[in-house]
Amino acid sequence: MKSRTKLMVILTTLGTGISSAALAEQLECSQQTTARLGVSDVQIDVVESIAAGGEVAVGHCRLAGITGAHRGMDGNDYAIGFELRLPDDWNGRFVHQFNGGNDGAVVSAVGPLLGGDDSDTALSRGYAVVSSNAGHRGDAHPDAGLAGGARFGFDAQARRDYGYQAVATLNPLAEAMVEAYYDAPIEYSYGVGGSNGGRHAMVAASRLPDAFDGLLAGYPGFNLPKAAIQHAWDVQAFKAVTGDVRTAFSRDDLDRVARNILAQCDNLDGLTDNWVADVDACQQKYNPDWLQCSPGQTQGCLSAAQVTALKTVHRGPHNSAGEALYSDWAWDSGIGSGDWRFWKLESPIPPWGNNSLIAVMGSSSLAQLFTTPPTRVAGSPQALEAYLLAFDFDRDAPLINNSTAQFPESAMDFMTPPGAENPELADFRDAGGKLIVFHGVSDPVFSVRDTTRWYQKLDANNGANAAAFARYYRVPGMPHGAGGPAPDDFDVFSVLVDWVEHGREPGAVTASVSDANEAGQAMLGDVSRLLCPYPQVARYGSGEPHRASSFSCR
């Protein structure tokens, strides 16, 4: 375990000769207080012992409370709400659960491991787990409608807590409480999260380089303010097709695109198997123009407006000078998935006006959280879409880098890992930390191409040896986190633990299609595949083509 400063408080009283048995009895779950746990500036509101069964298969002690309470500059009350779960059969390890979206809720601290099996959690494996709301409550502004979840962007400290400070504040307190509860030091500490939680993990590697022995960052939104600009870009591009974003592409249209990508790219890895393993070769080859209707053709093809929209969206946002404002996107077969459609085009949620997720959460976040000073936007589906349609890529996009006297940190300052444009992670590397990043190639929210460039720069800045402490995996076909025509069931967390605790360097990871992934089951069936550490590609050798053992990473 790497050396790091601990806040563990020695609870034995000098000269009293308290036995360990007496101490263990003293620290029964129901008797926990901040004094017994040796922490200050913490308010514990809930202490309960939970028997095995139900949500979690292991018995544990649950603590819930707040820290860092303050009155915001917007007149609202804020605090870092948290939940700490302490298993009866503790394995000596700790997981900080980084949550997704805009945070704003204390998600149950069970420790999802991002692998496809929701029942396999850090808590069920014996880890103590902490979760937080990152310093604000998403339900604090019901009068703001659909814009309420990002209304905390009107307070500079709440912005800062969401970006990085909540983790920096809570992590040492949680570790101190764990160690006090068990009267033993934590052997290894991990941070795990996907989406915005993946961003939290990457921020921790930069800002808290000696806090975690291992970090797992899934499909990370590490350039989240830039990705929010993409939302406006998408909505404007899709609106131009039919005048209604929701009808720009039918499900059959996107299925047609997915099949066309497979037709052009599937066999580039040496096997035709409904899976594009050679991601980079596909980007070089694929041409959506082949889908465009010929003169007089109306069936089995896309209109010129649809092809233009696809090319525009995949090119990524630019200003009038041609400068890229975020990233380009990968062509991949997961474009036909329901997840891609839900994020980009339409949802089955009537209160949202059946608008897409980017037109709801993306709009309110871009306006109120990532723009400085924040812009208040009404919380109706129509107002949120109108904001994105009116977004000016010359005038409005630079505001993600803006700061003021009231908001001294820009969105790019408080949201992104320091040095993300030219990463080295020298302090994390030198402290002995290990980082694994994975990303679905069909992610419709955060571009896998952006993450790939980040890793390429990290590798270059470490003398082509970033793999000594950081590994990166791409999952073809997978959209945002799970699902799609992809083998989305894999256990990267165990790979990280083996690396941290036993020095076993990560290699190929075996993946299969999760039981919940109906699209993957329909497209791929009962297969297993290898996920390869970048830049390697899984290539077929010989043997049964539906088994991972027939492939190798090279």
57/122 Cα distance (integer angstroms): 11
Place of tokens 């290894």: 188
Long-range contacts of 105-111 (CB under 8 A, 24+ apart): 105/133, 105/137, 105/138, 105/139, 106/64, 106/81, 106/82, 106/131, 106/132, 106/133, 107/131, 108/55, 108/83, 109/62, 109/82, 109/83, 109/84, 109/85, 110/55, 110/56, 110/85, 111/192
Answer whether 237's CB lies under 8 Å from 230's CB. Answer: no
Report how far Cα 370 is from the mean position of its chain's Cα atoms.
17
The H helix count followed by the E strand count for the chain is: 17, 13
Cis bond upstream, residue 423 (ω within 30): no
Exposure string over 391-426, b if 16+ CB within 10 A, otherwise e: bebeebbebbeebeeebebbbbbbbbbeebeebebe
195 is catalytic: yes
Which residues does the chain have with pLDDT short of 50? 3-26
The domain spans of the chain are 26-186, 225-248+287-330+345-415, 438-553
- Strand pairing class (538-540; 77-87): unpaired
Pick the catalytic residue: 443, 450, 459, 489? 443
DSSP string, 369-437: TSSSS-----SSHHHHHHHHHT--TTTTGGGGG---SSS-S-HHHHHSPTTTTS---HHHHHTT-EEEE
Six-digit token pair at 330? Answer: 């990968």
- Strand pairing class (538-540; 551-553): antiparallel
DSSP string, 73-131: TTS-EEEEEEEEEEESS--SEEEEEE--TT--S---SS-B-SSS-TT-BTTTTT-EEEE
The per-residue pLDDT for 1 is 59
Six-digit token pair at 358? Answer: 């980017």
Residue 551 neighbours by CB under 8 Å, 6+ apart = 529, 530, 538, 539, 540, 541
Pick the catalytic residue: 124, 131, 189, 195? 195
Residue 13 neighbours by CB under 8 Å, 6+ apart = none
444/477 Cα distance (integer angstroms): 11
- SS3 category, 474: strand
Residue 43 neighbours by CB under 8 Å, 6+ apart = 34, 65, 66, 67, 69
The per-residue pLDDT for 72 is 98
DSSP string, 279-310: HHHHHHH--GGGGBPPTT--SSSB-HHHHHHH
Place of tokens 């990968």: 330
Question: What is the amino acid identity at position 489?
Answer: D
The per-residue pLDDT for 117 is 81
Residue 345 neighbours by CB under 8 Å, 6+ apart = 238, 245, 246, 248, 249, 356
The per-residue pLDDT for 27 is 58
Six-digit token pair at 18? Answer: 């308290």
What are φ and ψ of residue 215, in 5° steps?
A: -130, 135
96/203 Cα distance (integer angstroms): 13
The per-residue pLDDT for 2 is 55
pTM of the model: 0.95
Residue 116 neighbours by CB under 8 Å, 6+ apart = 482, 488, 489, 490, 514, 516, 517
Six-digit token pair at 24? Answer: 């263990």
DSSP state of 13: P
DSSP state of 318: B
Pick the catalytic residue: 213, 480, 514, 550? 480
Between the two ends of the chain, the Cα-to-Cα distance in Å is: 32
480 is catalytic: yes
Place of tokens 């083509």: 545
